[in-house]
Structure 1
Amino acid sequence: MRIILLGPPGAGKGTQSERIVERFGIPQLSTGDMLRAAVAAGTPVGLEAKAVMESGGLVSDTTVVGIVADRIEESDAKRGFILDGFPRTVEQAAALDAMLARKGIALSAVVEFKVDETALLGRIAKRAEETAARGQPVRKDDTPEVFKTRLDAYRKQTAPLSDYYAKTGLLHVIDGMQPIDTVTQKTMSVLGQHAETAAS
């Protein structure tokens, strides 16, 4: 089962990823972790990424897709994987599709967690206030200003993926504003169908 999770920052992708990993025994692949691992391992794609990062540049889509391509060949990803935080743009999604097609692999499902942005901003502001009230440092990502910037970036770059995957028939939209356990229940219900298809 090969899954992509979509949703703005704060939508609960991390929490749901953990639960999917636990339930289906497939790894969650984060591009940041994969990049660091490829650089540390000194793979050809990792060396390419390292040179770009050291010069202060952004790693190209081709390089990131190459790193994903290497990672999904590893034994723990043979039964499937979760991609979280990638693809971020329609261009990356097209490059990912082409790479998977070359390997004869198809995506099983794309799950998008829909959330109310105003409510999300309120939630983040409250969390920052509570953290500060306890005398703990507030994470930079948890300040409403930074969070708003991240939301804007998501809206411009990543939100169009919703239409992209809707056209493929892979997209399942879940209301991410529901209680966490309800979101999990609906997510498992969607993924359960794909697990059965894969098994048959």
Structure 2
Amino acid sequence: MRIVLVGPPGAGKGTQAAFLAKNLSIPHISTGDLFRANISQGTDLGKQARAFMDAGRLVPDEVTIAMAKDRMAQSDAENGFLLDGFPRNVGQAVALDEMLLGEGVKLDAVLDLEVPEDEVVKRIAGRRICRNDSSHVFHVTYNAPKTEGVCDVCGGELYQRDDDTEETVRTRLEVYHTQTEPIIDHYRCQGLVVTISALGKVTEVTDRAMEALKKSDEG
């Protein structure tokens, strides 16, 4: 299957993408991984992206699109892929449509993870990270440490990242609504959008997504 995964920040896209890609035996292609791989490998596209990032500027669509095209051309993506973070806007969605049309293939589904805005704020603003090891992540509501402000694993100080504050999260949501959410309407016109609730346990959301994708594929 060829799937695009969309949803607001805090919807759990990265987590769901990993599970879905494994269950469907297709590669998980994320924008972040594309950037990191191209930059670490010193590709021409990576050098271009790095120059924009070092200058504090957004990487242009054409660079992101070219990275995605190169990745989707690799052998492991021959029978499908799951795109996470791309396309990020309607311009990128149109470019993806044209890219796939040129290859004689098409998307099977656009999976839209739906989460109420207040829940997104609660999820992200409640995160606390260990200063000693950023892989130690807690949540004031869903995964509270035994001692407030102290990492259960190593005893390090827990802190809230600057981009996890409620004000920053609401700004990120506004960017999502303005730039990314319109791609849902773009794909809805093509009959590709499958919307599911991203509330509940990770496994519940994964099961919900797999069932919705199965019905979409059968339809």
2:175 matched to 1:175? no
2:136 matched to 1:134? no
Give, in whole Å, the separation in 1 of the partners of 2:22 and 2:117: 29
Give, in whole Å, the separation in 2 of the partners of 1:161 and 1:54: 28
SS at match of 2:112: strand
Residues 194 and 213 in structure 2, CA contact (< 8 A), matched pair in contact too = no
Structure 2 residue aligned with 1:69: 69
Greater fraction helix = 1
2:135 matched to 1:120? no
Letter of the structure 2 residue corresponding to residue 191 of structure 1 = L
Structure 1 residue 187, shift from structure 2 partner? 0.6
Structure 2 residue aligned with 1:91: 91
CA 1:104 to 1:41, structure 2 compared with 1: closer, same or farther past 3 Å? Answer: farther
SS at match of 1:123: helix
Give, in whole Å, the separation in 2 of the partners of 1:87 and 1:50: 20
Letter of the structure 1 residue corresponding to residue 82 of structure 2 = I
Structure 1 residue 37, shift from structure 2 partner? 1.5
SS at match of 1:173: strand
2:182 matched to 1:160? yes
Letter of the structure 2 residue corresponding to residue 137 of structure 1 = Y
Give the stretch that moved more between structures: 76-85 or 106-115: 76-85
Q: How does 1:8-157 map to 2 (within 5 A)?
A: 8-128=8-128, 130=140, 133-135=148-150, 136-157=158-179
Residues 125 and 169 in structure 2, CA contact (< 8 A), matched pair in contact too = no
Give, in whole Å, the separation in 1 of the partners of 2:97 and 2:10: 26
Question: CA RMSD for the aligned pairs?
Answer: 2.3
Give, in whole Å, the separation in 2 of the partners of 1:45 and 1:148: 32
Task: Give TM-score scaled by structure 2 length.
Answer: 0.79
Residues 194 and 216 in structure 2, CA contact (< 8 A), matched pair in contact too = no
Structure 1 residue 52, shift from structure 2 partner? 3.4
Give the stretch that moved more between structures: 32-41 or 110-119: 32-41
Task: Give TM-score scaled by structure 1 length.
Answer: 0.86
- Provide, for residues 96-150 of structure 1, a one-character-per-residue CA deviation record: whole Å limited to 9, x for no partner: 1112212222111100011110232233344457268233122333322221111
CA 1:23 to 1:195, structure 2 compared with 1: closer, same or farther past 3 Å? Answer: farther
Give, in whole Å, the separation in 1 of the partners of 2:18 and 2:105: 23
SS at match of 2:10: coil
Structure 1 unaligned segments of length 5 or more: list them.
Answer: none
- Provide, for residues 64-116 of structure 1, a one-character-per-residue CA deviation record: whole Å limited to 9, x for no partner: 11110101111222221111111111111111111221222211110001111
SS at match of 2:79: coil
Give the stretch that moved more between structures: 165-174 or 35-44: 35-44
SS at match of 1:88: coil
Structure 1 residue aligned with 2:135: none
SS at match of 1:8: coil
Give, in whole Å, the separation in 2 of the partners of 1:88 and 1:95: 11
Structure 1 residue 159, shift from structure 2 partner? 1.3
SS at match of 1:145: helix
Give, in whole Å, the separation in 1 of the partners of 2:182 and 2:77: 27
Residues 62 and 95 in structure 1, CA contact (< 8 A), matched pair in contact too = no
Structure 2 unaligned segments of length 5 or more: list them.
Answer: 129-138, 151-157
